[in-house]
Structure 1
Amino acid sequence: MDLPKEFISRTREFLGEEDLNKLVEVLDTTSPTSIRTNPFKWNNTVDEEPVGWCQNAYYLAERKPFTFDPLFHAGAYYVQEASSMFLDRVIKEYVKGAVIALDLCAAPGGKSTLIRSALPEGSLLFANEYVKNRSQILAENIIKWGNSDIIVTNNSPADYSQFNNLFDFILTDVPCSGEGMFRKDEMAISEWSIDNVLNCQQRQREILKDIWSTLKEGGILVYSTCTYNREENEDNVKWISEELGAKVISVPISEDWKITGSLTDEELPVYRFLPHKTKGEGLFMAVLKKSCRNESEENGHSYLDEKRDKKNKKSNKGNSKTFAVPQSVKEWLNESDYFTFDSNETTIEAFPKRHYETYDKVKDKLRIIHKGIEIASIKGKDFIPSHSLAMSTSINMEMFCTIELDYRSAIAYLRKEAIAVDSSYPKGYVLFTYRGLPLGFAKNIGNRTNNLYPQEWRIRSSYPPEEDPSII
C-alpha cells in the first residue's frame, strides 16, 4: 500500500516505529467482516466469533454475498464494522431510561440501527443525514430494521440548532480525513493531506458548536471519527471540554479487547481502535457529559422557541387534507392503540403516541423523509399495504395471507419478478415470507401476482448463487 509520506512521518511521531510498521503491515491485509443481528427480529445466536464489546455481534470467518441473502433484505442483521459497535458498550453504560437521541451524521445507518437496538424501551431516535442521496439509503436501512420510534431527517447540523435542550444523547460520528479507512477505500488515501486534516478539524468544531445547544444539561455526547491523527481526535475532545463545557467520562473495558487509550500527553479517557491491535478498522471514540454553562440551561428552557412555534402552527393550519383511517387498516398493526394515525390523499402513516408531541413540534422545521411506519398508499378506494409495514416489527401478520417462499423464489421476488402462487391462495394482498420473516407484499390476481417490492431496492444482479448463502 502506497501511503502518503507525510502520513507516515506524522503517525510515527505518536505511534513509534514498531507500532507504525505493524500498522502499515496490517493495512495490506483484508479487513475483517462483522455483522450485528436485529434483536427485534432474530433471537438466535450465530455460530461465529462474538464481538466482545457489543451484544448480538459477530466476526465472520469469510465475507458472504450478502446481496443474495433474503434475511439481509428482511432486516434480520446489518453488516457493520466491528470497532464502531463500541457504541453499544457506551449506551449500555450511560443510558438507563427512555431518552430522546440523535444520530447526527447517520448514513448509511449502521450506528442508527445499533443505537435503536441498545436504547431502553420508550426512547425516540432522530437519524439525520445532510447529503440527500445518502439520506435515502439511511431511510431504507431504518425501514428494514423495523422500529416505529425513529424519525429520519435530511438536514444540516445548523438546522438542528433551533432545538435547545431537546436531546438526552447525541452521537456525532463526524466527517473526517478517513485515515482509518485506508485499507477499505483507496480514494481515502489519494484524498489525504495535512490541509484536509486541518480543514476536517475545523469543520468538526463547527458541527459541534451547531449541535451543542440541543443537548440537555447532563446529557451524553459521543464523539467519534475513523481517523488516527490527534488534531481530529484528542485535540478536539480537549476543545469540547474547555470551550463547550463538558466532562470527558470513561467506559469500562476489558484488556482482552486491546483498545488503546490517548496517544497524547493529555490524560483523557478516550478509545482508539488500531487495526494492528484490535480486530476491526481504525476508529476513535470519546464520551462527554454536558455540564451546566449558562442560566438558560439551569432554568430548563423548552427546546423550541414558543412564539416561533405558535407562528408556524398558525401558518401551517389547513395546509393538508386528512382522511379518517379505517379501523380495518389500523388493525394491520399489533397494539394499534399505541399509535397515532395520520393520513392524506396518498398515504397512511402511524407514529407512537408517546412521541407524537415531539414530532408535531419539529415537523415543520426539519426535512423529514421517514417517520414511524408508512402503513398504506391510497389509490381510489383501495388501501395498498406499504413495504414499510412489511418490514415493521409491529405488523399484525394474522391480518394477511402469508406465503413462505423457498430460496430461489425469494431471490426472484427481491429482483421484483412476478411470483406464481398456488391457485388455492385467496386473491388480494399477500405477504411473502422467508424463514418466517416478512420480505414484502404482492397482489394475487389469480393467474399471477403483482410484485409490490420497492423498485429502487430491487436486486439488480442477474447471477445469484445456487444455494442460500445465509449466515444466520
Structure 2
Amino acid sequence: MNDLFLERMKRELKEDYPAFERSLEQPMYKGLSYHPKKITKEMLKANTPLLEPSLFYAYGYYIDRSLGNHPYHIAGAFYLQEPSASAAVTILDVQPSNTVLDLCAAPGGKSSQILSQLQDGFLVSNEYDGKRARILLSNLERMSAQNFCLTQGDTKVVCEELESCFDRVLVDAPCSGEGMMKKHDAAQDNWSLENIQQCAMRQDYILDQAYKALKKGGYMVYSTCTYAREENEETIASFLKRHPDMQQVDPEVSFGQRGFDTPGMDADKVVRIFPMQKGEGHFICKMQKMQGEVRKLPIKKVRKKDQCDDILQEFLVNIPRYAYQQDDAFYIMDHPFIEFKKTHCLRQGILAGNLVKKRFEPAHALFMAFSKENYKQSVELDLAQMDEVMHGLQIPYECKKGYTCYCIDGIPFGFGKSDGHRINNRIPKGLRLLPKSHVTKGDF
C-alpha cells in the first residue's frame, strides 16, 4: 500500500485511522442487489446463500462468495454489487414517475437499481467509453430494462440536448478509486496526487454538464468510490461556488458518517462510508436545483405500430404501447421514444427482434424483459436443463412448436425454438457458459 496514501488517510481519519488500517487486511465486502419486480425476498432467501441484509439498500444483502453462475444472476433477478455502491441510489430517492439521468452509468449496477424503482418514468443511461457502454447494455438487458435509452458519448452533448429535462441526475463520477484498492490492483498501482488532481478536474467538468440537464426543483446526487478530499468535499465546494442556485440536501440516512470539514460546503450534509462501516468506500452528496427551467423530454415521431403489434401477438400477451422500427429492427416500450439530434443513442427500449429475409427473428432481450405470465409460451427448466441450455445445447422437451421462453423457478432467462419434441437453443453465444463452468445455487 502506498505510504503517501496511508499518511494522508492518517491525517484525515485521526483517531479512526487504526481501525481503517486494520480494515485493509480484511477481505473485501461482497453484496448483491435484487430486483423486487422479478423476485421476492422470500424466494431469494430460500434459494441463495445470503448473509445479513445490506445497511445501504432496502433490496440488498451481504454475501461471502461468488454467485456469477447462480441461476438467478443469469436470469437478472439480482446484480452483484459491492454493498456501499448501492447507497447513492438510496439517497437519490427515485420516484416511480421520475425522468432520471445516470450520467456515468457503466457497468450498470446503479442504473439497474433505478430501473427497478421506476413505473411510468424513464431512464437515460450514458457512458463515455464505447466498450464499457456495450457491457452496460448487456447488463441492462439481463436486468429486464424496458423504459430506458442508452447513450454513448461526452456528457456535454447529452446534457445540452436534454437540458432541464430530469427530475433526478446521478453523477457516479470516474475517480481515483481509493475505495477499490482491495479489489483492483490498478487502483493501487495508479495512485498518485497527480491522478487525484486530474480526476478532480474531470469531475468539475462532468458536474457542470449534469447541472444543465437537471430541471428546477430536481435533485442531483454526486458520488465517488474514493476517499480523497480533493475529489469529494473540495469538488462539491467548488461546484456550489460556480452554481449558487444549487443547495445541499440532508441525505436522511443512518449509515456512514459525516464528511470532512471543508470551507464552502456543509460536511453534515454528505455521507462518507469507510470499511469500518461495512462498505469498501463511498462519498455521497445530494443537492437540489432551486432555479432554472422545466422542460419535457423531446418525443420522436414514429410510424403506427400495427405491423409490430401483429408480429408480437405471437409472443406476448400484453404488448407495450410504443414501437419504433429502425431498418429491420423493432424496439418496444411503454414510454414514448426520445428524439435525439446530436447524441449517439445505442439503444432505446427493448430490442424485440429483426426482420431477416422478411421473416421475424425475435431477440434475446425480448425474452428477458417481462414476467413469465406475459409470454404466450414458456417452459420451466430445472438446474440441469438450464446448465445444458447455458452451454448452447438443445434439450428434449415435449411442448408446442415455436419460440418458447426458458424459465427457472418462474423467472425468464432466454428462449429457444421447439419442434414439438426438443427445443433448439437461441441463447446468444456471448452469454453462454464456458465448458468447465456450470449453473449452481451453491451449498447453503
TM norm. shorter chain > 0.5: yes
Of 351, 360, 363, 1:386 maps to 363
CA distance in 2, matches of 1:303, 1:369: 17
> What amino acid sits opposite 1:195 in the alignment?
E
> What amino acid sits opposite 1:253 in the alignment?
V
Evaluate the alpha carbon distance shift between residue 430 and residue 32 of structure 1 in structure 2; reply closer, same or farther with a 3 A threshold: same
CA distance in 2, matches of 1:369, 1:233: 31
Residue 46 of structure 2 is aligned to residue 72 of structure 1 = no
CA distance in 2, matches of 1:331, 1:445: 16
CA distance in 2, matches of 1:333, 1:443: 15
> What amino acid sits opposite 2:102 in the alignment?
D
| Shift, 1:137, TM fit | 1.0
Per the alignment, residue 308 of structure 2 pairs with 325
TM-score (norm 1): 0.85
| Shift, 1:408, TM fit | 1.9
CA distance in 2, matches of 1:142, 1:398: 20
Does structure 1 retain, via aligned residues, the 8 Å contact 2:379–2:407? yes
CA distance in 1, matches of 2:34, 2:95: 22
The SS at the match of 2:204 is helix
The SS at the match of 2:230 is coil
After superposition, where does 1:293-312 map in structure 2 within 5 Å? 297=292, 300=294
Per the alignment, residue 54 of structure 1 pairs with 57
Per the alignment, residue 41 of structure 1 pairs with 38
After superposition, where does 1:237-276 map in structure 2 within 5 Å? 237-245=236-244, 246-254=246-254, 257=255, 259-266=256-263, 267-268=266-267, 269-275=269-275
Evaluate the alpha carbon distance shift between residue 341 and residue 118 of structure 1 in structure 2; reply closer, same or farther with a 3 A threshold: closer
Does structure 1 retain, via aligned residues, the 8 Å contact 2:92–2:286? no
Evaluate the alpha carbon distance shift between residue 211 and residue 24 of structure 1 in structure 2; reply closer, same or farther with a 3 A threshold: same
Does structure 1 retain, via aligned residues, the 8 Å contact 2:324–2:331? yes
Cα deviations across residues 382-428 of structure 1 (Å, max 9, x unaligned)? 3222111111126654412x222221221221122x22223x32332
CA distance in 2, matches of 1:171, 1:398: 34
Does structure 1 retain, via aligned residues, the 8 Å contact 2:161–2:343? no
> What amino acid sits opposite 1:439 in the alignment?
F
Evaluate the alpha carbon distance shift between residue 463 and residue 301 of structure 1 in structure 2; reply closer, same or farther with a 3 A threshold: closer
CA distance in 2, matches of 1:174, 1:372: 25
After superposition, where does 1:444-459 map in structure 2 within 5 Å? 444-445=418-419, 448-459=422-433
> What amino acid sits opposite 2:65 in the alignment?
R
CA distance in 2, matches of 1:412, 1:403: 14
After superposition, where does 1:421-460 map in structure 2 within 5 Å? 421-422=396-397, 424-445=398-419, 448-460=422-434
Does structure 2 retain, via aligned residues, the 8 Å contact 1:103–1:126? yes
Which deviates more from structure 2 when the two are superposed, residues 452-461 or residues 391-400? 391-400
CA distance in 2, matches of 1:103, 1:248: 19
Per the alignment, residue 65 of structure 2 pairs with 63
The SS at the match of 1:183 is coil
| Shift, 1:365, TM fit | 2.6
CA distance in 2, matches of 1:235, 1:78: 32
> What amino acid sits opposite 2:183 in the alignment?
K
Residue 121 of structure 2 is aligned to residue 123 of structure 1 = yes
Residue 416 of structure 2 is aligned to residue 413 of structure 1 = no
Note the residue ranges of structure 2 that are not aligned, 5 or more in a row: none
Note the residue ranges of structure 1 that are not aligned, 5 or more in a row: none
CA distance in 2, matches of 1:348, 1:432: 22
The CA RMSD over aligned residues, in Å, is 2.6
Cα deviations across residues 2-22 of structure 1 (Å, max 9, x unaligned)? x21221222222111x42232
Cα deviations across residues 194-230 of structure 1 (Å, max 9, x unaligned)? 0000111011101112232111112111000111111
The SS at the match of 2:367 is helix
Does structure 2 retain, via aligned residues, the 8 Å contact 1:14–1:264? no
CA distance in 1, matches of 2:297, 2:383: 49
Does structure 2 retain, via aligned residues, the 8 Å contact 1:88–1:115? yes
| Shift, 1:290, TM fit | 1.2
> What amino acid sits opposite 2:415 in the alignment?
F
> What amino acid sits opposite 2:250 in the alignment?
S
Residue 343 of structure 2 is aligned to residue 342 of structure 1 = no
Aligned length: 433
| Shift, 1:188, TM fit | 0.5
> What amino acid sits opposite 2:343 in the alignment?
L
Per the alignment, residue 375 of structure 1 pairs with 352
Per the alignment, residue 333 of structure 2 pairs with 351
Per the alignment, residue 107 of structure 1 pairs with 106
Q: Percent identity?
A: 29
Does structure 1 retain, via aligned residues, the 8 Å contact 2:317–2:375? no
CA distance in 2, matches of 1:39, 1:97: 14
Of 131, 156, 159, 1:158 maps to 156
Does structure 2 retain, via aligned residues, the 8 Å contact 1:67–1:459? no
CA distance in 1, matches of 2:169, 2:333: 22
Per the alignment, residue 173 of structure 2 pairs with 174
Evaluate the alpha carbon distance shift between residue 284 and residue 344 of structure 1 in structure 2; reply closer, same or farther with a 3 A threshold: closer
Per the alignment, residue 193 of structure 1 pairs with 192
| Shift, 1:322, TM fit | 9.4
Does structure 2 retain, via aligned residues, the 8 Å contact 1:165–1:303? no
Per the alignment, residue 212 of structure 1 pairs with 211
Does structure 1 retain, via aligned residues, the 8 Å contact 2:171–2:210? no
CA distance in 2, matches of 1:470, 1:371: 39
CA distance in 1, matches of 2:327, 2:223: 42
The SS at the match of 1:71 is helix
The SS at the match of 1:63 is coil
